[in-house]
Every structure is written in structure tokens, then in C-alpha cells.
Chains A and B, each alone.
Chain A
């Protein structure tokens, strides 16, 4: 019974982290699906989202506003606006001019952008990690007293609800709306879509904006969950989310969701049963193994090499 509770605890922790990884991973997978490049700066956009949310929360606290739903909503909106603008600008400045060149060129440009953004925040806000106030406290507890208890914090429940809402909204947007349909068309065949009168530049910008918005949501949630942010916050999370995207099959949105959850669970099982230090090793090893043995991922389509 104890073991089972412990297992479920790890599972819930893993699913919490995993669902936020999935939010970030969607940004990678959508961009990859459309223009076939790895947006290396995506982790930094997520980090900027977390910082903006913290700035908004602190600002509201200074003004004396403490009603939780309002604080969360304002923080979320601010983070989404700033991160989306950042995503749009990054695409415009660093990716659009090099689109269609040799594969390494956009990637190096993205790495440069990532270093730039990291140091931009580092210079503006300092390199120390800054504490994120715990807005949502308390938890459900299950199991007998005085022994190991299964606990689900309200924060974890908030994370589940918000990620679920975001993913449903995204799925509806992609499947139903006019822009969503255009997104799917462009990801299937960019040239053909533009021949049929779709403004592909606009759609690519939209992809970056959507991905950045979801990353900002994840930034707020993970910032609150971990309790602190620092300028390097985005690097590892970005790498993990990329792993999740590859795991699920890069280019596929349901794949990114699935991959995020699997990666989160794998990580929390490692830190629960082995050691917390090796959870990053597990994530990267998983990435290497997937790329070696099933590069298309779980739900991806094989890429046909055209000559």
C-alpha cells in the first residue's frame, strides 16, 4: 500500500511537470512542422514569460491587489503578450532573413538568439535567482495518518486545469478556425499553400506567436511550481521540451502532448526511485535513444528524403 501510494505520488508529480513540458513542446513542434527548423530560442521565450509573470505579480502586490484569480489572470495576460511579441520579433529578426538557406544557418542563428536573450535578461534583471511567491498553497492528502501520504497540491491541480484548457483551445483553434486550417495547409506543403493564396509569412508568424504564448503560460505555471526563476531557467526546460517534442514525433501536436507527459513521468520516476541528480541524464539519454532507434517518434510521420 505504501509503495503504491509512493508510486502514485511520483506519477502525479511527473504528470504535472510533463503537462508543462508539453505546453513548451508544442512551440517546438509547430515551428518544426512548418519551416523545419529547431527554434533554439524557444526556451528563452518561456523564461521571459516567467519573468514577465513575476514582474506583473510583484507589481500588483505593490498596488495592493491580492484577489487571486485577478492576479493570475493579469500575470497570464502580461506574460502571454510579452512572450508573443518576443516570439514574433525573434522570427522577424533572426529567422525570416535566413529561411530557406542551408540547414545549419537558421540553427546557428537560433543559438545566437538564445544566447542573446539569456544575456539580455541576465543584464536587465541580474543573474541571481529570484523567488516566486507561492500564490496557491495547500493540498489534498490521502492515506493513513503518520505514514507516507499521497498529496496533491492545489498548485498541481491548477497546472492540470490550465494546461488542459490551453490544449483544448489549441486543438479547437487548429482544427476549426480559418487560421488553423491555413496552418495545417502550410505545414503540409508550404509552396502549394502559397500558390493557393495563403499568406505564408503571416501563418509562420502566427505559429511563432502561438508557440510563444503557450510557452509563456508554462513559464508562469512552472515558475510558481518551482518557486524561483533565473536567466538560465529556460535552457534546460527548453531542452527537455524539445526532447518531449522529438519523443512524440516532431511536427505532430498530439505527439508533443504525449511526449511531454511521458518525459515528465520518466523524470519523476528517476528522481523518486534513483536519484534527483540523474533525472537530466535520463531525459537526455531518452532523447538520444529515441533519435537512434525511432527518429520519427511515437506519433510522427516518416520524412521522405526527396532527391
Chain B
């Protein structure tokens, strides 16, 4: 047994070296057309060897290490805790949420412009993640082309404002509905497919949309994108220093205050906040409605759900359409925030980030998804020197979550009624 263990551990260590050394230890240096090879510095080589040693020792003492780890989870002080009673928890949760929203309303007036801008981006990601949460978390349909609907929303606003001069507020429902329509049209044929095929088809669809945006140059501007997208107005009041459109007034003149560029940023943030709250509340309602229960039923056991009379297509289609609708919402806000969009913003990586948010937060859990969206967007900003490692960490985190905690960091808790003890 011991000999067997050593052999296996040695094998694993050798594999580690084979995987790590050529890619990490030998760097290709292109200089013009000629490529030369250069050994990595000593610390990298040392790290590779250290990794091999760690793998060797871990494999060698795997059983005893695993036994220790099992002990660790038992000493966790929270593991034996009684869950809070349902009504108490619900009340606490609603108080907490109200508090957070009130705080979020007043917070931007006291911080710098850059952090408000970042917070707007966080809110856009929250909207996207909540929308995708309906599709992936609740209905169990893995959509890898979610960014396509986001693109539809953003491009709808950009194109409409360019060609017809329509305002943000008109465009918001139009963009969202158009995205929902796209979801419906795409969803109708593909939802018959099994889970993993669906993932690939939606991925292909996302890529098709991006390639079309890139190549349909006379309409979308191709890789150059569309610029000059107008900012939202408040009852006809503009936030720029000068009025761009006939018939509008400017915000600072109406209220007789000095012009400040922060007003615009804060206004956009507040719009995003209101929309994110609306998204969260609407989806929360949906989760408690029969259609929300049907999503989960179909995710848990398709055959059982169908034999109880649920229409598979209608249920899945509703999830897909609602998810797409909120992506269109987020896309409109995004276009307005950036003032410029190009197909670069709608690559597969973006879909992967949103999916990572949903997976890390806990599929189906709204609070978890919101916290994950905040963490995933803000952490790379805080640790800028590590921002190159962001996607590496996301990838690794997705794998580790699936292996150890597939329900996510804050798993969803089903709303249920407890019966009084009959005994």
C-alpha cells in the first residue's frame, strides 16, 4: 500500500512538472518575425518545483489530510446552529434590504466620482446577474450567450438615438422588449434541446450576434462601434453644461445651482439603482408565482414536472424571455453610461463573467448573486496589480465551487411553510 502510494504520488508530481515547466518555464519572445526562447527567472522555476513537491506530499498523505479536513468542518461553530425561524428571518431580511437601499440612495453624495461610476457598473452587473439567475439558477437552462441580449439592448438604444433621436426613457422599454423578443425567437426552437446542447447553441448564437455586429458596418459601425449616445434626462432636464437638444432645459439652471459634472454621474447611478431594485423585486415576485415554482420544478425533474401537466416549452420560454428582458434593460443603461459601444464589450468572456457571478453567488439565490456581483466587480479594482489574474482566479473558483460547494456561497432557501408538530 505504501509503495503504491509513493508510486502514485511520484507520478502526480512528474505530471505537474510536465504541465508546468514548458509553458511557465520557457518563454517565447517574438521579435519581428523571429521567435526566440528564453528560460524564466529563478523564482518561477523554484515555484514550479515547489508545486511539484506540494503535489507529491499531498498525494502521499492524501488519506490523513482528508481525514483532518473532515474534522475541520466539524469544529465549525456555525455548523450545529439552529436555523432562524422563518418569520423572524423574513422580517430581518426585509429590514436589512430597506436599510441597504436607503444607504445606497444617499451614499453617492459623499464619495468621489470614480467610485460612483464603479458603483453604476456594479449595478449593471447586478441586473445582468439577476436576469441570468432566472435562466440558469431557477430554470436550470445553461445560457452561454446571455451577452447577446445585453448587446441587443445596448445597440437598440444606440441605433435608435442615432437614427431617430429617441430618448433614453423611450428606449429603455423598447430595448428590453426587443431583447425579450430575441430571447423568445431564439428560445422557441432551441429549448427542446437537452441541457448541454442548449449551452453550446446559445454560445453559438452569442458569437453569431457579435460577428454580425462586427461586420454589418454600414448599420452598426462595425468594430468602430457607435459613439455619441445621449445621457438620460430628468423630465426634460439635461445634465450637460450646455443643452444639446431643442426644448430641454439644463438641470443646474433650473435649480439655480452651480454646474458640476458629478450630477450626471450620480443621476445615472440612481437610475441604475432604481432599475436594479425593480429587477430584483420583479424577479422576487416571479419566484413566488406559479411560474417561478414551475421553473424550479422543471429544473429538478423534467419528467415528473411534465407528467404533472406543465408545458415544458412554455415554462422554459418564459424564463428565457424574462432573463433576456432584464439583459436588455442592463444593456440600455450600459450604452447610456459609456456613451460609446462596440462589439468588444459583448464577447464571450462577458457571458462567462456573468455566469461566474451566478455560480459563485449560489444558483437561484438573489442575495448571494447580488453579493457576488459586488465582489466580482470591485475586488479587481481594489487589487489592481492582480487584475491580470482576475480571469485565472474566476476559472479556478468556478471549478472549485462545482467540486466543493455546487450550491454556491449563499445557497437559495426555498420559501416554505412549516407544519406544527403533530406528535
Contact A131 B200 (CB under 8 A): no
Known contacts: A108-B355, A291-B193. The answer to whether A284 contacts B204 by CB under 8 A is yes
Contact B392 A62 (CB under 8 A): no
Which residues of the partner chain A approach B399 to less than 8 Å between Cβ atoms?
93-94, 109, 112-113, 116
Q: Once the chains are docked, how many angstroms separate the CA of A281 from the CA of B211?
A: 7
Q: Once the chains are docked, how many angstroms separate the CA of A93 from the CA of B404?
A: 12
Most chain B CB atoms below 10 A, which of A51, A62, A109: A109
> Which DSSP category, helix, strand, loop or mixed, fits chain B's interface?
helix
Contact A115 B22 (CB under 8 A): no
Contact A98 B190 (CB under 8 A): no
Contact B19 A105 (CB under 8 A): no
Which residues of the partner chain A approach B402 to less than 8 Å between Cβ atoms?
94, 98, 105-106, 108-109, 112
B254 at interface by CB-CB < 8 Å: no
Q: Once the chains are docked, how many angstroms separate the CA of A117 from the CA of B193?
A: 28
Q: Once the chains are docked, how many angstroms separate the CA of A115 from the CA of B199?
A: 16
**Residues 72-99 of chain A, each 1 if its beta carbon lies under 8 Å from chain B, else 0:** 0000001001100110110001100110
Which residues of the partner chain B approach A107 to less than 8 Å between Cβ atoms?
142, 195-196, 199
Which residues of the partner chain B approach A191 to less than 8 Å between Cβ atoms?
none
A195 at interface by CB-CB < 8 Å: no
Contact A295 B197 (CB under 8 A): yes
Closest approach, in angstroms, between the C-beta of A36 and any C-beta of chain B? 8
Q: Once the chains are docked, how many angstroms separate the CA of A89 from the CA of B52?
A: 13
A285, closest chain B residue (CB) = B208
Contact A133 B35 (CB under 8 A): yes
Closest approach, in angstroms, between the C-beta of A136 and any C-beta of chain B? 17
**Residues 47-64 of chain A, each 1 if its beta carbon lies under 8 Å from chain B, else 0:** 010011011101100100
Cβ-defined partner of B200 (8 Å) among A38, A51, A52, A281: A38
Contact A108 B359 (CB under 8 A): yes
Contact A108 B23 (CB under 8 A): no
Cβ-defined partner of A78 (8 Å) among B22, B189, B214: B22
Contact B22 A108 (CB under 8 A): no
Cβ-defined partner of B348 (8 Å) among A97, A235, A246: A235
- B-contacting residues, A280-300, CB 8 Å: 280-281, 284-285, 287-288, 291-292, 295
Total A-B residue contacts, Cβ distance less than 8 Å: 177
A32, closest chain B residue (CB) = B196
Number of interface residues of A (CB under 8 A): 69
Known contacts: A109-B399, A288-B204. The answer to whether A48 contacts B196 by CB under 8 A is no
Contact B140 A55 (CB under 8 A): no
Which residues of the partner chain A approach B192 to less than 8 Å between Cβ atoms?
292
> Which DSSP category, helix, strand, loop or mixed, fits chain A's interface?
helix
- A-contacting residues, B15-37, CB 8 Å: 15-16, 18-19, 22-24, 26-28, 30, 33, 35-37
Which residues of the partner chain A approach B356 to less than 8 Å between Cβ atoms?
112
Which residues of the partner chain A approach B67 to less than 8 Å between Cβ atoms?
none
Contact B398 A112 (CB under 8 A): yes
Q: Once the chains are docked, how many angstroms separate the CA of A94 from the CA of B214?
A: 35
Q: Once the chains are docked, how many angstroms separate the CA of A82 from the CA of B19?
A: 6
Contact A38 B204 (CB under 8 A): no
Known contacts: A109-B398, A119-B391. The answer to whether A62 contacts B37 by CB under 8 A is yes
B215 at interface by CB-CB < 8 Å: yes
Enumerate chain B interface residues (CB-CB to A < 8 A).
15-16, 18-19, 22-24, 26-28, 30, 33, 35-37, 136, 140, 142, 144, 189-190, 192-197, 199-201, 203-205, 207-208, 211-212, 214-215, 303, 348, 352, 355-356, 359, 388-389, 391-392, 394-399, 401-403, 406
13 A-B contact pairs sorted by A residue (CB < 8 Å): A55-B37, A58-B37, A59-B37, A82-B18, A86-B19, A104-B196, A105-B402, A113-B399, A118-B391, A131-B30, A246-B200, A280-B207, A305-B303
